[in-house]
Structure 1
Amino acid sequence: MPILAADLVRQVKSAIQPLYPTQEVEAIAYLLVEMSTGATRMDCHLNKEVEKPNDWEQMLSRLAEHEPWQYVLGKAWFRDRIFELNPHTLIPRPETEELVDLVLEKLPHKNTPYSILDVGTGSGCIAISIALEAPNTQVSAWEISNDAQKQAMQNAKSLGAKVSIERQDVFEWSTRSDTEMWDMIVSNPPYVLFQEASQMEKHVTDFEPGLALFVPDSNPLIFYQVLENMASKHLRKDGWILLEINQSLGQETKALFLTDRWRNIELRQDFHGKDRFVLAQKDI
């Protein structure tokens, strides 16, 4: 049955009004309506009619229970592409888009193949974006979750990206062949301390996969330690490692690379001005 797109926007706003700041409510309402019906913000202002989605009431109910709109729809935008999600994949964030920018910035200006590994690929948003935006690269990805790996493979197929996505626990990296080498390793690993959970929004802690979010309070750099060790063995000389990090542990993460194995070590800030990335180049 046709309904005004603007009425759907009002219904979304009503469902989530108490849960988010006013500007976020506005943005979510228009995004949800556009991604579920195709009606743009302008269509809403022009009183365009659309077909109400069959599961609309269920969607509103899920939104009212704090479930993120990305999981309600099963998809999200990342670098102007739509990536399908499931409950085992993190919701892609703008800061991670910046990580892809850093990868592209470090790529050499040459036509010879350049091999890149994305560790903990989740939905595949990093690996797939690199493969599509730097077609001369050979991109591989590791993922420990079977359900996340399947989602990443489906996203690669639907977006037309050539990416090899394997089930692999980074803590078992030593099982890989000693001859397996990459020119670049990139990762957005778990880095949120359990003690930080109480300060986080309910729609994050209740719905996003803890396996991809949290690290022990007693060893918050556990993933960065293993990534540094693995990269020191499996990066070619002059290769780069690029990592998204916990903003409160920038100097501590950078310090892991202050050895004779690395040079050109950088701590970079995100668009909010927060410590968010560590980059290092293999020296030996």
Structure 2
Amino acid sequence: MYMPILAADLVRQVKLAIQSLYSAQEVEAIAYLLVEMSTGATRMDCHLGKEVEEPKDWEHILTRLAEQEPWQYVLGKGWFRDRIFGLNSHTLIPRPETEELVDLVLGKISSTHSPCRILDVGTGSGCIAISLALEAAHAQVTAWEISPDAQKQAMQNAKSLGADLAIELQDVFQWSTRSDSETWDIIVSNPPYVMFQEAAQMERHVTEFEPGLALFVPDANPLIFYQVLESMASRHLKRAGWMLVEINQALGKETKALFENERWKNVELKQDFHGKDRFVIAQKDI
């Protein structure tokens, strides 16, 4: 039976559930986003007194939010580059900084021949690879993912968003199993880069809900993924091809130094919109 409720009342209920967990600004943003994504009612609809149907399992949703579970996992979806991507517990929540990484890749595509072959390593929900497949004309995109559950989610996202790309199960540490003739013009990656020692300073909604496999690296070797990416890309990038990676802001100079050898040129450490070291870009020289 349809039971109408004011969308504004749902917003108030969300705010009440999470008001002690986040800043006032975050509470406001989360409440309106969650109600819009679960009912279709916009912020303006709420102010105009629109009635909606209470979402299924609403009380359970509020309980999960009160336990600090991110709203993206509660709803099983989130925004990235103005598109809705399905998410599960094996995929990271897409972040605005990673949208910048996509922009950096798009900026390099014009310098390659057409069609441009792109590889995304550790694709997760597929947000980088799918965005590139949809936004880069004539791009041929391949994505690697180690988690079967993440790969399944990425494939569902590709289908729902109408993206044409290959999403393969592949451990980057087993890259030597790939044929030497398999090459790309651009390799991009947002690999795990958070040290375990940093977890104590991180928010609970990140450390307890986002997949550790996609987040953390050993404190003794925090650059382990960049080391293997540099090695793999030096074999599988075409000459003058580009490597672009998202990085730990605390290890910008160290990550950049990995690419400062005879195999690479035009190595750059770039900042995100917060002014923090966030990306390393390098061009293959041999």
Aligned residue-pair number: 284
C-alpha contact 2:112 2:241 (8 A) present in aligned 1: no
The secondary structure found in structure 1 opposite 2:180 is: coil
Specify the alignment match of 2:246 in structure 1: 244
Specify the alignment match of 2:53 in structure 1: 51
Give the C-alpha shift of residue 54 in structure 1: 1.6
- Within a 5 Å distance, the mapping from 1:8-157 to structure 2 comes to 8-108=10-110, 112-157=114-159
Per-residue displacement from partner, 1:212-256 (whole Å, max 9, x unpaired)? 000000000000000000000000000000000000000000000
Specify the alignment match of 1:222 in structure 2: 224
Structure 1 unmatched ranges of 5 or more: none
CA distance in 2, matches of 1:16, 1:134: 39
Q: Judge which range, 174-183 or 106-115, deviates more.
A: 106-115
C-alpha contact 1:265 1:279 (8 A) present in aligned 2: yes
CA distance in 2, matches of 1:53, 1:184: 43
Give the C-alpha shift of residue 112 in structure 1: 2.1
Give the C-alpha shift of residue 109 in structure 1: 5.8
CA distance in 1, matches of 2:202, 2:264: 34
CA distance in 1, matches of 2:113, 2:251: 37
TM-score scaled by structure 2? Answer: 0.98
Tell me the amino acid that sits aligned with residue 177 of structure 1: S
Specify the alignment match of 1:260 in structure 2: 262
Tell me the amino acid that sits aligned with residue 204 of structure 1: V
Tell me the amino acid that sits aligned with residue 222 of structure 2: P
Give the C-alpha shift of residue 135 in structure 1: 2.6
CA distance in 2, matches of 1:213, 1:110: 31
Tell me the amino acid that sits aligned with residue 164 of structure 1: A
CA distance in 2, matches of 1:110, 1:235: 12
The secondary structure found in structure 2 opposite 1:264 is: strand
CA distance in 1, matches of 2:215, 2:165: 24
Specify the alignment match of 1:232 in structure 2: 234
The secondary structure found in structure 2 opposite 1:122 is: coil
C-alpha contact 1:250 1:267 (8 A) present in aligned 2: yes
Per-residue displacement from partner, 1:4-39 (whole Å, max 9, x unpaired)? 000000000000000000000000000000000000
Specify the alignment match of 1:176 in structure 2: 178
Give the C-alpha shift of residue 154 in structure 1: 0.5
C-alpha contact 1:74 1:84 (8 A) present in aligned 2: yes
Tell me the amino acid that sits aligned with residue 19 of structure 1: L
The secondary structure found in structure 1 opposite 2:120 is: strand
C-alpha contact 2:79 2:85 (8 A) present in aligned 1: yes
CA distance in 1, matches of 2:20, 2:104: 37
TM-score scaled by structure 1? Answer: 0.99
C-alpha contact 2:112 2:185 (8 A) present in aligned 1: no
Per-residue displacement from partner, 1:61-82 (whole Å, max 9, x unpaired)? 0000010000000000000000
The secondary structure found in structure 1 opposite 2:41 is: coil
CA distance in 2, matches of 1:272, 1:188: 18
Tell me the amino acid that sits aligned with residue 73 of structure 1: L
The secondary structure found in structure 1 opposite 2:231 is: helix
Tell me the amino acid that sits aligned with residue 72 of structure 2: Q
The secondary structure found in structure 2 opposite 1:29 is: helix
C-alpha contact 2:78 2:93 (8 A) present in aligned 1: yes
CA distance in 2, matches of 1:227, 1:107: 20
C-alpha contact 2:183 2:238 (8 A) present in aligned 1: yes
Specify the alignment match of 1:282 in structure 2: 284
CA distance in 2, matches of 1:108, 1:69: 37
Give the counterpart of 1:164 among 163, 166, 188: 166
The secondary structure found in structure 1 opposite 2:35 is: helix
CA distance in 1, matches of 2:73, 2:191: 20
**Identity across the alignment (%):** 80
Give the C-alpha shift of residue 53 in structure 1: 0.6
